[in-house]
Chains A and B, each alone.
Chain A
Amino acid sequence: MLINLRNIFKWVQQGGRRVFLLKDINLEVKEGDFISIMGPSGSGKSTLLNIIGMLDGFDEGEYNFLNEPVHQLKEKKRASLFKQYIGFVFQAYHLIDELTVYENLEMPLLYKKYSGSERKALVADMLDRFNIVGKKDLFPTQLSGGQQQLVGIARALIGKPKLILADEPTGNLNSKQGEEIMDLFRQLNEEGVTIIQVTHSKKNAAYGKKIIHLLDGRMEKI
């Protein structure tokens, strides 16, 4: 089991009241799954994804990642799990504007202590695979949105993560670009990468093997 969420609650205090962001979430994700999370705006999709990605905490419940109890782990250990297994893709791409495509791709490797030649090889692979060799010395602002998202995905993949978390990866793209990204996800999934994506589009959600609906922080059905 890759991910096991049990009775997850998350709330914030607002005006002395608890406002629940997530209520009693139970979710199992196996390696090789491709899950789409859907739901209206404000239903808690991003919150859930961030919790799965260990970027955010929760208030109640258990979260096991590869049988490690995330809720009990020290910050350091959690960060290293994250570093090792998880890649994030954002709606807003979130590339560093001051770094070139090449350097953006290289960055996660720097935090993982790869040697210089390994880094070179891995980055070259990615550039190749995403067909952006010609763009490697450009800065993000010099790319189109679709190209930027490709770089964002390439960056998420470069550390060979087991799990890709994507929060509306096609939200800022036109449908043609979106389709390309989805094809890519499917391909990755076939190669064995687990993918959890948040999306508003039924069409994109259909790429997933499983769809989860969130409403007001509660899971509707599996």
Chain B
Amino acid sequence: MDYEAQTDEELAQLCEGGDERAARELVSRFERPLFSLIRRTVRDQELAEDLAQEAFVRAFNHLDSFDPSYQFSSWLFKIGHNLAIDHVRKKGLDTVSIEGAPDAVSQERQEATSITLEARGERPDEVAEARALGDEIEEAIGELRPEYRTAVMLRHIEGHSYREIAEIMDTPLGTVKTYIHRARGELQDRLAHLRPEGSEA
């Protein structure tokens, strides 16, 4: 069977029938998005890895409670988001995160950026510039409240609809709209200095 050609939901159903290769395909599709979402929420590489692992394991071991009319990614992100936000609340990280973004310029993120950009064949100075820009954005995201952070990432990085985000975050639709609106406002303020002079007519 060509696993790559299957939809996420078809793969989830194959998993339910005990198909481990289908599960592996789902892991390879979502390990980075899920891990990134969790890592940007908890802001710790190792912890994020544990939580992302836990999210996948819970998802696969409770496939019987997955409704195939929903998106698999929404369901998986919901599990991951719950784990991450529980952790953040327990540790009271909401307040800590405002103090700064200690890991925003972390080694592996810089490497990830440079690998992506070098693969695109960009010049080294462009790569360095984009890396610095990426760090600025990463830092600005890190300074948002965790709820704003998750909502705005799901909207702009994962391309989920407001309805799906409300589902993932288990939050009313109106609240999600507020989160995203405020998150964008804060990000635009924090990133305003990156805009070239005079472009803000």
**Is B a genuine binding partner of A?**
no
